[in-house]
Amino acid sequence: MTDRSVANVTCLGCGCACDDITVVVKQDSIAEARNACALGAAWFGDGTVPAETRVNGRPASLEQALTEAARLLGGAKRPLVYLAADISCETQREGVAIADRLHAATDSLAATATTAVLAAQRRGRAGATLGEIRQHADLVVFWAVDPSTRYPRYGSRYVVEPRGVAAPQGRNSRTLIAVDVGESRGPADADGRVAVAPTDEVDGLEMMRAAVQGRAGGADARFRTVVELARRMTEARYVAIVADGEPGLVPADPARAEALITLAQALNGPTRCALSTLRGGGNRSGADAVLTWQTGFPFAVDFARGHPSYHPQAGAAALLGAGEVDAALVIGTPATLPVPVAAGLAGIRSVAIGPRASAATFQPAVAVDTGVAGIHEGGTAFRMDDVPLPLRPSLEGGGARAALVTVRALRDRLGA
């Protein structure tokens, strides 16, 4: 392959899925990912991935690996199919088809945001795509999160800096408020700050909602500043509340997740408001979307009864922890697995197909290395706000095996 650059590349380093990356390829490896943040640059790396195929730790042909994988999975009593990071929606669809055929339990990396997803299932959402917040928001409230750490370009590309149709001065058209909840702090450069004690957080959100709805708020001094913030929010034209959906410093609290949603919904009485829930990368939002359209449920789907059933409190980690699973298929980058899932997999026979599968710490019986979706193969991925984006491979045809083709071949072996 010749040196070249590929423009309009989508990065899956975090849920921002920035699609303005220009990848410069020199001597068959990535020399630069222009526009990418540090996380993105690390995600692209130099594009080098191992290309091993192993059965029981020994090098094998793809034929041998697929045969062993089909034998292992086809003979399992209680199989698990797990969708990890860095695969396209097209590959995720094949993975769910396999799970359906095997009557397997299924889960994905989307389960990291379980608390936020379940709260949205109970109450709904008041949301917007990121670009709409950019167009309209004049007041942005960062609720216990500074996106610059885990979602580095969230502010510069979407919600804070860029000019919007109703925010002609970009950053200067907006007021930023940081809500600091204990150690979970908002951005350092906010225009204003409000401190909330962690023990007062949920009550504070409820007090804010009461104030927005014009219900008598208590005169409790602890809530004076948040109630004042709520009043400010009702006076804004379009409010964005930014909160992290991924695990943080403290365990996720269902009541807090629900209170954030209902506050955002209530603000749509007197004004407009969108809650922006930050999600991680690797196309986990795609896994949520695919499972939802194919099964009706976003994660923790079990086909054991011959149809999808939903066990949000008994996903992959719980099933593995309870010793229920006797074989697993992991599709995607094993290194992205949540720790309890990886630990559980170490105790059972498994098949791993994905980027760096051969380096999986849980030592799969069958490991097939593939390329990374968005670097070595194309397809579709979802941004954290459920906007679909095409993937443009910069190193396609460079020797890395395509995950989609490999998983489809396994599906054929399994008659799925």
Subset of residues 71 to 100 that bind another protein, contact rule: CB under 8 A = 89, 93, 97, 100
Name the one residue in this structure whose structure tokens are 């200067």: 172
Over the window 167 to 206, marking each residue x when it contacts another protein by CB under 8 A and - when it does not, the resulting string is ----------------------------------------
Applying CB under 8 A, the span of 38-46, 154-162, 178-186, 198-206 interacting with another protein comes to 154-162
DSSP symbols for 339-401: HHHHHHHTTSEEEEEETTGGG-TT--SEEEE---BTTTB-EEEE-TTS-EEEE--SSTTSSPP
- In the complex, the smallest distance separating the C-beta of residue 335 from another protein, rounded to whole angstroms, is 27
277, 245 contact by CB (below 8 A):
yes
Cβ proximity to another protein: between 74 and 270 the closer is 270
Tell me how far apart the alpha carbons of residues 328 and 334 are, in angstroms, rounded to a whole number: 12
- In the complex, the smallest distance separating the C-beta of residue 297 from another protein, rounded to whole angstroms, is 6
Q: How far apart are the first and last CA of the chain?
A: 36
- In the complex, the smallest distance separating the C-beta of residue 118 from another protein, rounded to whole angstroms, is 9
- Residue 218 lies near another protein (rule: CB under 8 A): no
308, 302 contact by CB (below 8 A):
yes
One-letter amino acid for residue 227 of the chain: V
Over the window 124 to 143, marking each residue x when it contacts another protein by CB under 8 A and - when it does not, the resulting string is xxxxxxxxx-xxx-x-----
| Among positions 164, 282, 332, 355, the unique one binding another protein when judged by CB under 8 A | 164
Cβ proximity to another protein: between 50 and 124 the closer is 124
229, 175 contact by CB (below 8 A):
no
How many residues bind another protein (CB under 8 A)? The answer is 73
- Residue 8 lies near another protein (rule: CB under 8 A): yes
- Residue 255 lies near another protein (rule: CB under 8 A): no
Measured from the Cβ of residue 39, the count of other Cβ atoms closer than 10 Å reads 18
Three-state DSSP class for 163? coil
Applying CB under 8 A, the span of 55-63, 69-77, 161-169, 354-362 interacting with another protein comes to 161-169
Measured from the Cβ of residue 339, the count of other Cβ atoms closer than 10 Å reads 9
- Residue 293 lies near another protein (rule: CB under 8 A): yes
DSSP symbols for 176-239: EEEEEETTB---TT-SEEEEE-GGGHHHHHHHHHHHHTTPPPP--GGGHHHHHHHHHHHHSSEE
**227: Cα separation from own chain's centroid:** 32
Measured from the Cβ of residue 74, the count of other Cβ atoms closer than 10 Å reads 15
- Residue 236 lies near another protein (rule: CB under 8 A): yes
Applying CB under 8 A, the span of 163-171, 172-180, 323-331, 366-374 interacting with another protein comes to 163-171
Q: Is 56 left (phi over 0), alpha (psi -120 to 50) or beta?
A: left
Name the one residue in this structure whose structure tokens are 């590349």: 9
What phi, psi does 239 have (nearest 5°)? -100, 135
Which residues within the stretch 31-60 sit at the binding site for another protein (CB under 8 A)?
none
- Residue 20 lies near another protein (rule: CB under 8 A): yes
| Among positions 294, 324, 359, 363, the unique one binding another protein when judged by CB under 8 A | 294
| Among positions 157, 279, 349, 401, the unique one binding another protein when judged by CB under 8 A | 157
Three-state DSSP class for 274? strand
Which residues within the stretch 385-404 sit at the binding site for another protein (CB under 8 A)?
386-392
- In the complex, the smallest distance separating the C-beta of residue 382 from another protein, rounded to whole angstroms, is 8
Over the window 296 to 325, marking each residue x when it contacts another protein by CB under 8 A and - when it does not, the resulting string is xxx----x-xxxxxx---------------
Applying CB under 8 A, the span of 36-44, 203-211, 294-302, 334-342 interacting with another protein comes to 294-302
- In the complex, the smallest distance separating the C-beta of residue 4 from another protein, rounded to whole angstroms, is 13
